[in-house]
Structures are given as C-alpha cells and as structure tokens.
Structure 1
Amino acid sequence: MQWTALIVFVCLFGFVTIMGFAAARWRAGDLNHINEWGLGGQRFGTVVTWFLLGGDLYTAYTFIAVPALVFSAGAMGFFAVPYTILVYPMVFVIFPRLWAVAKKHGFVTASDFVKGRYGHSGLALAVALTGILATMPYIALQLVGMEVVIGALGIETHGAVGHLPLIIAFLILAAFTYTSGLRAPAMIAIVKDLLIYITVIAAVIIIPAKLGGYGAIFGAVPPEKLTLATPPEGSLGSWSAYATLALGSALALFLYPHSMTGVLSASSSHVIRRNAAILPAYSLVLGLLALLGYMAYASGVATKPEFAEGFARYGANFAVPALFLDQFKGWFVGVAFAAIGIGALVPAAIMSIAIANLFTRNIYKEYLRPDCKPEDEARVAKIVSLVAKVGALFFVLMLDTKLAIQLQLLGGIWMIQTLPAVFFGLYTRWFDPRALLIGWAVGLGTGTWMAWMLEFKTSTWPLVIGTLTIPGYAALYTVILNLVVAAVLTLVFKTVTKSRFADVTVARDYA
C-alpha cells in the first residue's frame, strides 16, 4: 500500500468533489432547463472553454494508453500527436458555423441540427443513436484508467470489495453531475489540467535527469521502436496505417457528443476560434506524455519484481504508474495519480451529460413525449446521465475490460459515419437526407464488419488495390464509402422523386 500517495490522492479527490457540488451555484442558472444543466447556459468564455475542452478531449485513458502504446509498440503510438494537431484547423473553420446556427435555433445536439437542416426524423435518430452507442465504451475506458491508478496505489481492484473504491468514485461523480450539470466538470477541469501540466513538466525534466538524459533513454530503446517500420514490397505498411489513423481520428474526434457539448457550451463563435488557436498547447503535453512510454522502457520497470503483479494484471497500461512509483517520492505520486484519476471524472461527466442530451432531446422528446415541459426534459436528462454511468460501470465490473477497449475501436468507425450529415450540412443542402441515411447505414455496417473480421484486435484494414496493399484506419475507408453512396443516391433521388424536406435554417443563420 502506497500510504503517502494514497492520502494525497484522497485529499485532492475530496477537494474536487466539493468543487463539483459547489459548481451548481457558479454562474447560477435554472438547472431545471436542459440548456442550463446540459450546456451551462452557453455562457463559458475562452478560458473556461479551453479547460473544459482540454479536460474533455484529453482523458485519463489518454494519459495511460498513449504512453502504453509507445511502450509496447514504439513509434506507431505517436499517431495521437499529429491527429490532435490536424483537428484544430477544422475546429477553427467548421464549428463557429455550427455554434451560430445552434444558438439561433436552440439546438443542443448535433442530432438537433440534422433534424432542423434536413427535416428527416430517421436521419436525426441515426445520428443520436450513433453518438450514444459510440460514447458508452468511451466512458467505460475512463473507469479502466482510474482502476489502473487505484490498483497502483496498492488497493486490490478485483472482487466485490476490490471494486468498492471505483464504485464510490463514480457514485460521487453521479451525484455532482446530477446536481450541477456541465458546470461541475467545467470547474473541476481547471484543477485537473493544472495538475496534469505540473505532473508532465516535472516528469520530462526529473526522470530524464535520473536516467542519464534523453540520449540515454533513446539509446536504451530498440531501434525498431524508434521509427516506423519500412513497408515491405507491395505494401505501404505502417506508413499508411499511421497517416490514416491520424487523419481518420481527427475527423471523428469532434463528432463525438461530448466534444459537441463542449463546443456548444461556449459563449460565442469567437471563443471557439480562440480555443482552436490555443488548444494545440495540449498537443505539446500529449507529445511529452507519449515520451513517458520510452522512459518506462528505459527505466526497466517491466523487469522489476515489485511491479510484476501490476504488469501481469494491467499489461502495458501499468507502464506510466510503475514509472512514477519508481522515480518519484510518494507525495508526488499522489499528485500525479490524482491528476489521472480526476482526468477520468471530467470526461466521464461530460460524456454522460452528452448522452443525456441526445436521448432526451432526440428520442424522449421526439418520440415519447413531444409535449414535455422544460422541467421534465431536464429531469429525464439527469436520470439518463445516471443510467449512462451505470452502464459504463457494468462494462468494467461485469465484463473483461479488454472487451471495452476492443469495443472502443469501433467508436471512431461508428462516429465518423455522421460526418456527411453534420459537416457537409453546415455548408450545403445538396444531399438528400434519405441518401445520407443509407450512406450512414452502409458505412456503419461495413466498418463493423471490418472490425469483426479483424477480431476487434486492431482498427487497421488491409485495403488491396491491384497489387498494392494499403493498411489504413477502417473509419477513413468506410466514411469515403459512405460519402460515395450518399452522393450517388442523392443524384438518383433527385432524378426519380420530387420529395422536399423542410429546412428550418437560412443562410444568415450560419454567419
């Protein structure tokens, strides 16, 4: 048991819990309205939005999984860095338009926008269901990250008693999310991000100094882990896999409901542009975090007896916790683990709120109770946010956590299929909604089949064109197929039918 680290961890966790409940009075609004509970009243400025999006996108599992991938697979793990750089120019250009039209018409979700833009309930329902489906295992992965940290503190994480700390943590999360809505993770994100920056800066200075410098670290890593492998003849190998993983992940990231929630909570489109300009600071941190994988390899923690049980139980995910336990004193280990643990609370809260917004606005109100009052809408959203957390907890407590990780590979493949309806819809009304719905179904079905054929072990599909094999992210290949189907069928529908679907928006709404 790491007593000093555990005490620091519990104290910091208790502090952010108090903040979570106090957040209900921050920038006070009527939390019985979903716009106030689920979007913070759309009053968050540049600084708060920066922390909120940073806490939303750079999750606890990111801080464990990226260095773990570098630790085990080498340079391929760095694809996460260019993908987070590629995404922000798209945010700068695209999302101020979405914010403007959402503000004008009171849209809370991407599905709201699709319904208003295309006037087709089936397409809007498909977008909503995709968001809910893709986000559930993502919440579960936050629990996986927290469980690794709790285990590293010396607490048994298996069995009924072992799961108790994790259950307590998420009961606390459920309570302050229910009472404070999006204000709670927005406020906590400030503390979480400050802890992350302190941890990373200390790690990239102190650990290399102890290991003999970066030259010694890179020298200890096998050469084949330092660069991408040269592709064999007739294949683009790891080169195309790396590039398509970066591009496909960038295209999918801000389509996730929790990303949309963070963007739509901003007070203006200018806030979104400013954040697109300054959020790459997190990409710098992510690059430094990835280097922790090499540091863990060079330190030899995987061969040390005191960490054998941790690696046996959690695999490469234990690399960063083991590195901190090996290199730092107990009090700083507590700070670092608290940063990761709190880093699970923030995105999990936002994700559950985003799922609640989608279900309430686009399923409950649309199909079950069209005449529900604002108070009923907010109440149902709060209940659904609790259900989402329970569902995520089920993944971790009742199933093999590796299953949740494998299902998460599908997340990007599923989520990117909403791109044609959302992104293209912001610029043109040319596509027929029926064609978009069929394209979505083809892309979703093909992507799921690819993941099934790959046995959920990878999301890289070996596309064969003539004599050339191009391994690439299945999400990118399937969204291209989705677009082609949607474009062709749009031409067909425009030729053979004269059906018209209402568009509640006009050009000036997007300014």
Structure 2
Amino acid sequence: MNAVAVTVFAFLFLLVTVMGFAAARWRRAEALDNLDEWGLGGRGFGTFIAWFLIGGDIYTAYTFIAVPATLYAGSVVGFFAVPYTIVVYPIIFAFLPRLWSVSHRHGFVTPADFVQGRYGSKGLGLAVAVTGIVATMPYIALQLVGMQVVLQVMGLQSSSDNWFVKDLPLFIAFVILAAYTYSSGLRAPALIAFVKDTLIYIVIIVAVIYIPHHIGGWAHIFDTAKSSFSDFNTTNADAIAAGKAQGKGIIPPPAAHWAYASLALGSALALFMYPHSVTGVLSTRSRNVIRRNASLLPAYSFLLGLLALLGFVAIAAGVKVTNPQQAVPQLFENEFSPWFAGVAYAAIVIGALVPAAIMSIAAANLWTRNIYKAFIKPDATPAQEAQQSKLISLVVKFGALIFVLALSKDFAINLQLLGGVWILQTLPAIVGGLYTRWFHRWALLAGWAAAMIWGTWLAYDVASPTQAHFGGPLTNFPGTQTKVYIALIAFGLNLIVAVVGTLVLRALKVADGVDVTRLEDYSVDAGDTGVEAELTPETPLH
C-alpha cells in the first residue's frame, strides 16, 4: 500500500462524497418527495449535464476493467464493445425522443409504465419491470467487482478470512453511496458524473500517450501482444484442439466474424432497454437534448477504444496477473507515479459509484411504480412513492453488495451474461409499442416468456475450459456450427412468437387492453400542451 496513492484516492473520494450530499441543494426543488424530483432529477437536465450523466451511466467501472481485460486475456472478439457503442447511437436517435415525449405527456417514470399504459396490461408491465430489476441487480454487483479489483491492487483489502472484514473499505464506500443517493436522488450521480468523467478522460489520455512512449511505442506493443498470443497458441495447441483451452489472438478469424458482429449488434439493441439508461434519458428537459446526446456520446466510444488497447499495453509492459481484471489497475501502479496512480484508482472507483447509484434508483422506481403501486397500494401518493423508492434503492444496493462479497464473482458475471439475454426480450414491447399498436399484449407476453426460458437454457448449456455452465455469451446458431450471441437467438424466437400469437389472437378476436396514449403524444416537446416546460429549481414537476 502506497501512502501517497491512498491519500490522493481518499481525497478525491471525500470530494465526491461531499458533492453527493450537496447535490440535494443543486437545482433545488421545494421537495424531493416525488419520483419526478428524486428519481428523475426534476426532468430538467440539459445537454451538458445529460452528456455526463448518460455517459457516466453507460461507461461503468466494470467497463473500464473488463474491456481491456478481455484483450489482455487474448479474446479475439474482445474489441466488440467499441463498435457496439457506435452502433447504438443511431438506434437511440430514432426511438428515444418518442419515448421521452409520451413519458412526459403521461408522467411515465419507467419503461414498464409506458408498456402498461400502451397495452393496458399490468401483467405485461410487470414482466418488463421484473426483467429490468433482475437484469440490473448483477450489473450493480459488477460495479462492486470493479471497485474490489482496484482496492486489491491498492492494498486496501484485508487478509482476513471474514468476508466482511476483508472488504470493509468497499462496504464503507457503499454505505456512503447509499446515504447520499437516499438524500439527493438522481441529482447525486448527475453532479458526481462531472468529476468521474473528467478524471477518466485525463487518466486514459495520459495512459495512452505516456505509457506507450515509455515502453517502446505502439509498434512494439502490438508485436509483443501478437508474439505472446502466438506463443500461447503454439504451446497449448493440443489443449486448444481438444477444447480444453481457448486460442488467443488480436483479429477475429473468419469463424468468429458472426460472433463478433452479433455481440456488437445484440449489445447495442439491449443497452437502452436497461432501466438505468432510460432513467438518464427521461431526466432530460427536451427531445433535442436526447438527439444532441446521441450525436455527442460517441466521444465516449473513442475513449473506450483507447481504453481497450491498454490490455495490449499491459502485456508489453510485462504485467503478470492471474486475474485479467487486475491488468489495468496493476499497469497503473507499475507505470505511474504514486500520486497519479491515486488519481487513476479514484477515477475507476468513482466510475462505479455513478452507475451503481443510477441503477439502484432505476430498479427502485420499477418496484415502486410497477409492483408496489400497480398491485400492492394503487392509491399511493407521490410522497409515498418517493419514500418507497428511497427504501428499495437501499435494499438493492446492499443486496448487490452482499451478493458479490458472499458469493463467487463468477456467479455475478454469469448473471450479468444472462442480464443481457433477458433485457433484450423487453424490446418488442417497448420499442415496438413506440411505433405500432398492432402487437397483442398476450402475444408479447408469450414471446417474452418463451425467449426468457430458451435464452436462459442456451446460456446454461454453454461450457468453457473453466466452467461447465454459463461459460460465455455465444452458442451455435441452430442447425449450424456458427457462433452467435445468445440474446439475438432468443430475440428471434421472441419476435416469431409475438407475430404468430398476434395473428392468432386477432383472428380469434381476443380482447386487447386499452391504450391510454394517442398518436400526437409521441411527438410533443417541452412547452407543448400537457408537457411541462423546462423546470426551474423552484418549480418542481407535479
């Protein structure tokens, strides 16, 4: 443990803690006792704030740990995260402004609110809500995994066999996170995102300029990585041929092209189905804010590309770790001066706090609106809704904390793999509903259920050299030996069942639900009739 690095880290962590509690007074409303204020920050964030908030929400601490780790480990499809974060923005440019409009016209707080209102089905809304909560929980847990890796490299993890004592610094960090999220709601991660993203940009830009120059340049880095992977493949040729080890490489071979492409496309389609992504979008003040951010957010993709290359840099720098997720933090410790290493550690840990806060708020809002109010207390007041969300946000955070500390990290990673498979199955109801009312609610529910079951089974049946089940996100496309993303296969079944089911139910004239929306609701903007103009700090939305 280096005293200078720890001191710098502690100072920056204390800074964001103070900002988190001060956020309750930032853009201050009369009260935070409604979900529009506590859960959506007053629905008044502009382009600048939204860019940091949504970017801080999508590009998480685990992203900064896991993406370069996949390249460090030699995964030939590990770079897929970069094209997927490029592909996603034209997609969201098209449909998210429509979701913003109808949500502001009707006061929808969650994507399940929209589904319930569009199809007149509490059951379908419940399915979307439960999927969102279950898919989000392991996502929060993985933020803890990212923080835990940094604390391990810093030397802040105890050698005690007691899991609570061993990870006490992590526990303290999440207690503080829970406290200021409870106090300030979405304003806390929105304000902290400024610090998080600034630190991340500084650290990564310095890293990709300073470290390569220090160790011999990019040509040497790529040559070293390629040589390392070739040596591994030669040494382990028999194990690779027998399926007991996976080959390593820089460029996907032809056999992996569909795997690479399907991972990128499937992940892009799924990203803004996650409730925390929608929460960031619904907190904006107009449709144009969303469009501008869809145009500006690819700047983060550039950053992600640079970050991914640090996996190769770690190989060239001689970083030796048994857990690839430690590669980047260890690289920073080896190559940076202690004070700047402290800045880098803080950037990653703060990079976990922002998305973890937003994810817990989004999951809590789903519980409150689409389970508690829909089925338990239909007459809940706005103040009761806010209080319920505050309490559940604590439960979600500490549930994820206990989950990752008491159980195997592989379990959390496996569930996050399933999270991507699961959350994509809400797309037909959400995105389809934004453009058409043709789908029958029961057909959508049947498609969702079939895809959830089949996708989970396909993921369970995937083996790897180290795991008998949940060994990866890819499986053979039915009837072929071509590897593709499991989520897309399940999504195909979802669409088939939804389309065929709708045709049958329409032919049988089975009653459909009542749609509370109208065509014009999908194009209104701030200032139009029934849509609140930009909020001022003194005029909360009711």
Give TM-score, length-normalised by structure 1.
0.95
- The letter for the 2-side match of 1:46 is T
Residues 32 and 38, structure 2, Cα contact 8 Å, conserved in 1: yes
Q: Which residue of 2 aligns with 1:228?
A: 251
- Give the Cα–Cα distance (whole angstroms) in 2 for the partners of residues 357 and 436 of structure 1: 23
Number of equivalent positions:
494
**Shift, 1:429, TM fit:** 0.2
**Shift, 1:73, TM fit:** 2.2
Deviations 1:6-32 (A, max 9, x none): 100000000000000000011112201
Deviations 1:318-347 (A, max 9, x none): 100111111110000000000000000000
Q: Which residue of 1 aligns with 2:12?
A: 12
Structure with more helix by fraction? 1
**Shift, 1:397, TM fit:** 1.5
- Give the Cα–Cα distance (whole angstroms) in 1 for the partners of residues 503 and 307 of structure 2: 48
Residues 77 and 260, structure 2, Cα contact 8 Å, conserved in 1: yes
Listed as ranges, the matches of 1:17-96 within 5 Å are 17-29=17-29, 30-96=31-97
- The letter for the 2-side match of 1:190 is F
Listed as ranges, the matches of 1:112-151 within 5 Å are 112-151=113-152
Residue 473 (structure 2) pairs with residue 450 (structure 1): no
Q: Secondary structure at the match of 2:482?
A: strand
Q: Which residue of 1 aligns with 2:216?
A: 212
- Give the Cα–Cα distance (whole angstroms) in 1 for the partners of residues 157 and 506 of structure 2: 62
Listed as ranges, the matches of 1:229-308 within 5 Å are 229-231=252-254, 237-302=255-320
- Give the Cα–Cα distance (whole angstroms) in 1 for the partners of residues 60 and 264 of structure 2: 17
Residues 111 and 358, structure 1, Cα contact 8 Å, conserved in 2: yes
**Shift, 1:480, TM fit:** 1.0
- Give the Cα–Cα distance (whole angstroms) in 1 for the partners of residues 457 and 407 of structure 2: 22
Q: Which residue of 1 aligns with 2:359?
A: 351
Q: Which residue of 2 aligns with 1:463?
A: 477
Q: RMSD across aligned C-alpha pairs, in angstroms?
A: 1.0
- Give the Cα–Cα distance (whole angstroms) in 2 for the partners of residues 3 and 76 of structure 1: 39
- Give the Cα–Cα distance (whole angstroms) in 1 for the partners of residues 376 and 342 of structure 2: 47
**Shift, 1:425, TM fit:** 0.4
- Give the Cα–Cα distance (whole angstroms) in 2 for the partners of residues 457 and 332 of structure 1: 37
- Give the Cα–Cα distance (whole angstroms) in 2 for the partners of residues 262 and 412 of structure 1: 19
Deviations 1:364-383 (A, max 9, x none): 01111011111111001000
- The letter for the 2-side match of 1:456 is F
**Shift, 1:75, TM fit:** 3.9
Deviations 1:431-463 (A, max 9, x none): 000000000000000010011111111010111
Residue 484 of structure 2 is aligned with which of 464, 468, 472?
472
What residue ranges of structure 2 are gaps of 5+ in the alignment? Answer: 230-247, 463-468, 524-542
Listed as ranges, the matches of 1:490-501 within 5 Å are 490-501=502-513
Q: Secondary structure at the match of 1:161?
A: helix
- The letter for the 2-side match of 1:379 is Q
What residue ranges of structure 1 are gaps of 5+ in the alignment? Answer: 232-236, 303-310
- The letter for the 1-side match of 2:494 is N
**Shift, 1:498, TM fit:** 4.0
Bigger mean CA offset, 218-227 vs 175-184: 218-227
Structure 2 vs 1, CA of residues 229 and 102 (structure 1 numbering), >3 Å: closer, same or farther? closer
- Give the Cα–Cα distance (whole angstroms) in 2 for the partners of residues 73 and 99 of structure 1: 41
Residues 228 and 239, structure 1, Cα contact 8 Å, conserved in 2: no
**Shift, 1:229, TM fit:** 4.2
Residues 443 and 501, structure 2, Cα contact 8 Å, conserved in 1: yes
Residue 412 of structure 1 is aligned with which of 405, 420, 427?
420
Q: Which residue of 2 aligns with 1:319?
A: 327
Residues 252 and 260, structure 2, Cα contact 8 Å, conserved in 1: no
- Give the Cα–Cα distance (whole angstroms) in 2 for the partners of residues 101 and 373 of structure 1: 22
Deviations 1:293-334 (A, max 9, x none): 0000111111xxxxxxxx34xx00010011111111000000
Q: Which residue of 2 aligns with 1:185?
A: 189
Residues 24 and 184, structure 1, Cα contact 8 Å, conserved in 2: yes
Residues 367 and 389, structure 2, Cα contact 8 Å, conserved in 1: yes
- Give the Cα–Cα distance (whole angstroms) in 1 for the partners of residues 252 and 38 of structure 2: 49
Residues 60 and 352, structure 2, Cα contact 8 Å, conserved in 1: yes
- Give the Cα–Cα distance (whole angstroms) in 2 for the partners of residues 229 and 408 of structure 1: 24
Q: Secondary structure at the match of 1:504?
A: coil
Q: Secondary structure at the match of 1:73?
A: coil
Residues 24 and 183, structure 2, Cα contact 8 Å, conserved in 1: yes
Residues 89 and 294, structure 2, Cα contact 8 Å, conserved in 1: yes
**Shift, 1:157, TM fit:** 4.8
Deviations 1:266-314 (A, max 9, x none): 1101000000000000000000000000000111111xxxxxxxx34xx
Q: Which residue of 1 aligns with 2:166?
A: 162
**Shift, 1:108, TM fit:** 0.2
Q: Secondary structure at the match of 2:481?
A: strand
- Give the Cα–Cα distance (whole angstroms) in 2 for the partners of residues 229 and 180 of structure 1: 45
**Shift, 1:226, TM fit:** 5.0
- The letter for the 1-side match of 2:67 is V
- Give the Cα–Cα distance (whole angstroms) in 2 for the partners of residues 402 and 93 of structure 1: 36
- Give the Cα–Cα distance (whole angstroms) in 1 for the partners of residues 390 and 70 of structure 2: 36
Residue 342 (structure 2) pairs with residue 334 (structure 1): yes
Bigger mean CA offset, 372-381 vs 182-191: 372-381
- The letter for the 1-side match of 2:299 is A
Residues 221 and 298, structure 1, Cα contact 8 Å, conserved in 2: yes
Residue 497 (structure 2) pairs with residue 485 (structure 1): yes
- The letter for the 2-side match of 1:505 is T
**Shift, 1:74, TM fit:** 3.9
- Give the Cα–Cα distance (whole angstroms) in 2 for the partners of residues 162 and 6 of structure 1: 17
